[in-house]
Amino acid sequence: MNMSFRKMVWLSLLMLTFALPVLAQTPVIERGQPDELRGVTKLFVGPDVQQREVVVREINKELPDLEIVSRPEESDIHLQFSMKEMRDGRIEWVGTVVKLIDANRARALYSFKSELSPIYELHSIKNYAIERMMPLTFARGFVSAYKKANG
């Protein structure tokens, strides 16, 4: 075995040693069902300020008895919503409602995904409207699933 190969193997093992505890801390995401929203009273909405504002406003309007908490550990479920620009210029909007079971398990109860073509520039007026419309669409989908589960 040459020296550089042994160094690569050793460095790989060293990196794996540090990576395993981090990987163990990441909860396994199981597939859940929207009817698991039954009985939920507290929710945490993810940190993106602009999109959070739109989602919270819609939820407060449609589900005024649902408490929106400021810390994730105080909630029954977490709502996460984000936008990311893909390498090919598409814009992807992703929203998920997750119920934490324990430190190592979570259940995805509702999800939303929408893609836009590269013709929408990030700073255009159209995009500003879309940045409001997508979180609103996600929030309305969540409200509908929640009402159906708690009907």
**Residue 4 falls inside a structural domain:** no
Specify the 3-state DSSP secondary structure of 136: helix
- Give the type of residue at 69: V
The phi, psi pair for 124, rounded to 5°, reads -85, 160
Per-residue pLDDT at 14: 46
3-state helix, strand, coil in the chain (%, to 5): 45, 30, 25
Question: Per the confidence metrics, is the pTM higher than 0.85?
Answer: no
The tens digit of pLDDT for each residue in 93-137 reads 888 999 988 878 888 999 888 876 655 555 554 566 567 788 899
The tens digit of pLDDT for each residue in 12-58 reads 544 555 544 544 566 788 899 999 999 999 999 987 777 889 999 99
Number of domains the chain is built from: 1
Looking at residue 60, which CATH number applies to its domain? Answer: 3.30.160
**Residue 70 falls inside a structural domain:** yes
- Give the type of residue at 57: R
**Residue 136 falls inside a structural domain:** yes
Q: What's the domain range around 128?
A: 28-150
**Residue 124 falls inside a structural domain:** yes
